[in-house]
């Protein structure tokens, strides 16, 4: 993308007014999006995003600038403009760039942008038909096909010189059920760091029928009761609760400032002994997997909590300096327009020993949250609330009637300590995570687990 002479000149320009570290990040990204609503194509877009980010460290502070003009003259101008915020002397140096060998965790078989659009539109039409025909109660279906190919290049004054290619696709179906003037939505959106071969493994009709199944189940459901009760949270998309309520608080961006509920707790029991939590950026072809993070550090498997004990945080380079610790390969950003910071990749609670059926059969009464929806969390306190997209009542060890309108309200660390059963059916779901460095693809996952007591908000009143 840039030659070595240009990169060296830009990095030295970045240090022309002092600073102890400089970095260049180049991104070239192709994005495609096709949306079908009501059986008709409403959006068919292909775009390209290209630009360069330049970052300077001055001890524990950082300056960031970006541009989409990658001429050497302009890059040096931008670098010097960023450096003008400093008042030190030039620290120009000769840089010996070294390119290390990387493990490719995301092998690609079929180039997404090499497949004709008519084949992608056909996937959407098949999905629409399957979702709409699932039941007469389904009144509206929206299906979306997403593809992305991102090439990144990263170099810095420590001699790093590395490239990475990220290829992703995702297929989304949202079905709306309408009955007696009320509406409920079902949603399913699997994705992977794969080429078009993803659609050999993932059947779009199955995706569509799952979205419609959820909508139909919930349109006929009773309103959930409110009160404190045991809650069984199913695998896959249940992992969004740990991601939001605990994962963000384990990011060094919060820990380094003391604004995390987990700050200062390294080596302490922060969860039930049944809980082992992991962030793994190396799961082959997973939605949140990359070969290197957005600072060029190789991604890795980070055990965050092991048998209830806090073992690690998610650390980027800058916050690692503030905490006097090394990067864990956890620095991410949406694009060159954002400075990177500590973020999650594929975060999950690891599998336990019980089966899902054992957990349910050993529960007298509980809310069974099969799928969670959106929510909010305060990383400083861990307090959260999450909507239950699909819920059921458990009575006498059996799943009985469907429930809608439930909200889970609690505190992340408290919930971790109240987990008293962990299943053996670990599964992952896909989502987009927003934070200070933009919106990034992340996996969320867990096995079925039970929280012994949790506040449930509902419209029916206490039972």
pLDDT at residue 460 tops 80: no
Say if residue 232 is in the same domain as residue 184. no
Average pLDDT over residues 150-173: 97
> 173 lies in a domain?
yes
* Residue pair 39/133 in contact by the 8 Å Cβ criterion: no
Rounded CA-CA distance 134/301 in Å is: 40
* Residue pair 415/451 in contact by the 8 Å Cβ criterion: yes
pLDDT at residue 85 tops 70: yes
> 116 lies in a domain?
yes
Q: What is the pLDDT of residue 389?
A: 93
Say if residue 358 is in the same domain as residue 413. yes
Q: What separation, in Å, do the N-terminal and C-terminal C-alpha atoms of the chain show?
A: 63
Band (pLDDT 50/70/90 cuts) for residue 331 is very high
> 53 lies in a domain?
no
3-state DSSP helix/strand/coil % of the chain, to nearest 5:
20, 45, 35
Say if residue 203 is in the same domain as residue 259. no
Say if residue 198 is in the same domain as residue 244. no
Q: What is the pLDDT of residue 99?
A: 86
Rounded CA-CA distance 133/231 in Å is: 33
Answer with the residue of higher pLDDT: 109 or 99. 109
> 209 lies in a domain?
yes
The structural domain count of the chain equals 2
* Residue pair 102/292 in contact by the 8 Å Cβ criterion: yes
Chain segment 342-398, per-residue pLDDT in tens: 999 999 999 999 999 999 999 999 999 999 987 788 888 889 999 999 999 999 999
Domain containing 194: what range? 112-149+166-217
Band (pLDDT 50/70/90 cuts) for residue 205 is very high
Tokens representing 356 are: 């899902």
Say if residue 350 is in the same domain as residue 375. yes
* Residue pair 243/442 in contact by the 8 Å Cβ criterion: yes
Say if residue 282 is in the same domain as residue 258. yes
> 325 lies in a domain?
yes
Helices and strands, number each (H, E), in the chain: 10, 23
Say if residue 258 is in the same domain as residue 170. no
Asked which of 198, 217, 236 is the last residue of a domain, the reply is 217
> 274 lies in a domain?
yes
Give the CATH number, domain containing residue 174. Answer: 3.30.2290.10
Q: What is the pLDDT of residue 462?
A: 58
* Residue pair 29/46 in contact by the 8 Å Cβ criterion: no
Answer with the residue of higher pLDDT: 461 or 188. 188
Give CA separation, 270 vs 182, 265, 444, in Å. Answer: 42, 8, 20
Rounded CA-CA distance 229/463 in Å is: 10
């Amino acid at each position: 993308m840039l030659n070595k002479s240009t990169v060296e000149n830009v990095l030295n320009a970045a240090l022309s007014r002092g600073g102890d570290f400089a970095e260049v990040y180049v991104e070239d990204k192709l994005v495609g999006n096709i949306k079908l609503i009501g059986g008709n194509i409403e959006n068919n877009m292909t775009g390209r995003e290209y630009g360069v980010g330049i970052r300077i460290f001055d001890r524990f502070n950082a300056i960031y600038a970006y541009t989409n003009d990658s001429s050497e003259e302009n890059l040096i101008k931008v670098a010097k403009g960023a450096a003008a915020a400093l008042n030190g002397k030039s620290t120009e140096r000769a840089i010996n760039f070294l390119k290390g060998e990387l493990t490719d965790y995301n092998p690609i078989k079929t180039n997404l942008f090499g497949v004709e659009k008519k084949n992608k539109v056909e996937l959407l039409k098949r999905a629409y038909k399957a979702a709409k025909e699932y039941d007469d109660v389904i009144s509206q279906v929206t299906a979306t096909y997403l593809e992305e190919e991102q090439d990144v290049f990263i170099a810095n004054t420590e001699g790093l010189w590395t490239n990475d290619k990220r290829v992703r696709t995702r297929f989304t179906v949202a079905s709306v059920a309408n009955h007696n003037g009320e509406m409920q939505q079902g949603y399913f959106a699997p994705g992977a760091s794969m080429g078009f071969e993803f659609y050999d493994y993932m059947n779009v009709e199955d995706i569509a029928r799952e979205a419609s199944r959820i909508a139909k189940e919930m349109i006929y459901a009773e309103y959930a009761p409110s009160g404190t009760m045991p809650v069984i949270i199913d695998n896959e998309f249940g992992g969004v609760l740990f991601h939001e309520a605990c994962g963000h608080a384990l990011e060094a961006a919060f820990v380094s400032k003391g604004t995390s509920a987990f700050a200062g707790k390294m080596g302490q029991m922060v969860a039930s002994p049944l809980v082992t939590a992991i962030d793994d950026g190396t799961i082959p072809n997973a939605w949140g997997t990359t070969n290197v993070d957005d600072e060029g550090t190789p991604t890795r498997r980070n055990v965050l909590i092991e048998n209830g004990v806090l073992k690690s945080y998610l650390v980027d380079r800058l916050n690692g300096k503030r905490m006097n610790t090394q990067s864990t390969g956890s620095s991410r950003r949406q694009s060159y327009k954002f400075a990177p910071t500590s973020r999650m990749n594929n975060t999950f609670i690891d599998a336990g020993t019980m089966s899902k059926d054992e957990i349910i059969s050993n529960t007298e009464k509980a809310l069974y949250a099969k799928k969670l929806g959106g929510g909010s969390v305060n990383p400083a306190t861990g307090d959260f609330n999450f909507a239950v997209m699909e819920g059921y009542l458990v009575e006498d060890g059996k799943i009985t009637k469907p429930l809608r309108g439930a909200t889970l309200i609690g505190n992340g660390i408290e919930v971790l300590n109240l987990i008293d059963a962990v299943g053996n059916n670990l599964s992952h779901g896909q989502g987009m995570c927003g934070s200070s460095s933009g919106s990034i693809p992340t996996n969320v996952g867990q096995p079925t687990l039970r929280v012994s007591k949790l506040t449930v908000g509902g419209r029916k009143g206490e039972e």
